[in-house]
Amino acid sequence: MAKLVSPLAPAAFPTLLPIAGVRLASGAVGVRYSGRTDVFLAELAAGTTVAGVYTKSLTRSAPVDWCRDAQKGGTARAIVVNSGNSNAFTGKAGWASVERTATAAAALLGCKPSEVFIASTGVIGEPLPDHKITDGLPAIAQTLADDAWQAAAEAIMTTDTFPKAATATATIDGVAVRINGICKGSGMIAPDMATMLGFLFTDAAISADALQALLAPASDKSFNCITVDSDTSTSDTVVLCATGKAGNAAITDAADPRAESFRAALEAVCTDLAQQLARDGEGAQKFVTVDVDGAVSDASAKVVALAIANSPLVKTAIAGEDANWGRVVMAVGKAGQPADRDKLSIWFGGYSVAHEGQRVEGYDEAPINAHMQGKEVHLKVDLGLGSGTARVWTCDLTHGYIDINGSYRS
């Protein structure tokens, strides 16, 4: 049976132009799925610098540990990703599997294993049949091309209903540079670094240290501001590779004013991808933006916003198209952050429903109900305590989430 595409999906896959120094390929090797691609290979030009952010999970996967070690070298020549099996909770065998895959890719592409970044996504706790990947890599490498972005995005999907990609351009010293990104994620999504697999590529010349200093805050403002189900994956990985082929004078310090255009473009790509993850939340029917103002700090506002966005009661009320602001009051109160009941104000779709600790008398429910029936829901809270603000994105919680996760291994 064909998988139903999320009603919140973009109208079409975006047009991603080639990135000089990057070639992509995908193939079907049968790691777990049949009749679809499940391996993605990226070949990167010599001298490509790399940055990454990874899950904070204490039960993280072997590929995450490998990438964290590999990143210390500052360069990348290849990325190999499989879907269907996360190679997590697989003991020493998991590390050996990663090592074999990296060694095979390195031999194929003429680089060191430590320059090969590995990621896996799928079922936890099952041994990865990595021989299927290593046996299939030579044929996959034969199809490397500079325009295979959609095929690469499709190969890393698990419960995703659509492939996710974004692109933006920037200018450094008058030189145009491009950023392309693909990612996957639909469930087990909670902001604890990136909550997904994401691969970003640019032709800009930027040192590894500067690249890291640009990626980390971009992730905080995007991937760390989404949640589907409050669960942090064992495999979360975001890697940013810079080939240096655009020809700009290299940026070696993220504080360099010449980096500002790139910083803005990177944040735009990351935010676009992050929102696509929330729009593809398992079973999602509504995309939800939660704004919190008036907190004692931005950090405090973000905790409150995530408490609201993660609340099953809030999310199911939204699924039921019920502007139940009492659920929001509950979520604010449990967040563990400074809050004053008598200063709290709440809006749905821009319509005030509660002000300074009590219901707005006689508010008109008709426009609010109309807003709740749409595919995009906006919820705002003002704590009335300070100037701290935060915005996070989530989705509603429907029975579809249960249907997907109740049969995930079968």
Residue environment code for 237-261, b if the CB has 16+ CB neighbours within 10 A, otherwise e: bbbbbbbbbbebeebeebeeeebeb
Query: Which residues are designated catalytic?
Result: 195
pLDDT for 235 equals 78
Classify residue 149 by burial, with Cβ atoms within 10 Å: 0-12, 13-18, 19+. Answer: buried
Dmax of the chain from CA atoms? Answer: 72
- Start-to-end Cα distance in the chain: 15
Q: CA 300 → CA 56, 290, 308, distances in Å? A: 20, 14, 13
Q: Which of 261, 276, 297, 219 is nearest to 56 (CA)?
A: 219
- The mean pLDDT of the chain is 93
pLDDT for 194 equals 46
Task: Check residue 277 and report its DSSP letter.
Answer: H
> Is 282 marked as binding a ligand?
yes
> Is 410 marked as binding a ligand?
yes
Residue ranges and CATH numbers for the domains of the chain are 22-279 (3.60.70.12), 287-406 (3.10.20.340)
> Is 72 marked as binding a ligand?
no
Q: From first to last of the 410 residues of the chain, give the pLDDT tens digit.
A: 456 899 999 999 999 999 999 999 999 999 999 989 999 999 999 999 999 999 888 889 999 999 999 999 999 999 999 999 999 999 999 999 999 999 999 999 999 999 999 999 988 999 999 999 999 999 999 999 999 999 999 999 988 999 999 999 999 999 999 999 999 987 655 555 445 899 999 999 999 999 999 999 999 999 999 988 776 777 789 999 999 999 999 999 999 999 999 999 999 999 999 999 999 988 899 999 999 999 999 999 999 999 999 999 999 999 999 999 999 999 999 999 999 999 999 999 999 999 999 999 999 999 999 999 999 999 999 999 999 999 999 999 988 777 766 765 55
> Is 405 marked as binding a ligand?
yes
Task: Check residue 387 and report its DSSP letter.
Answer: S
pTM for the whole structure: 0.93
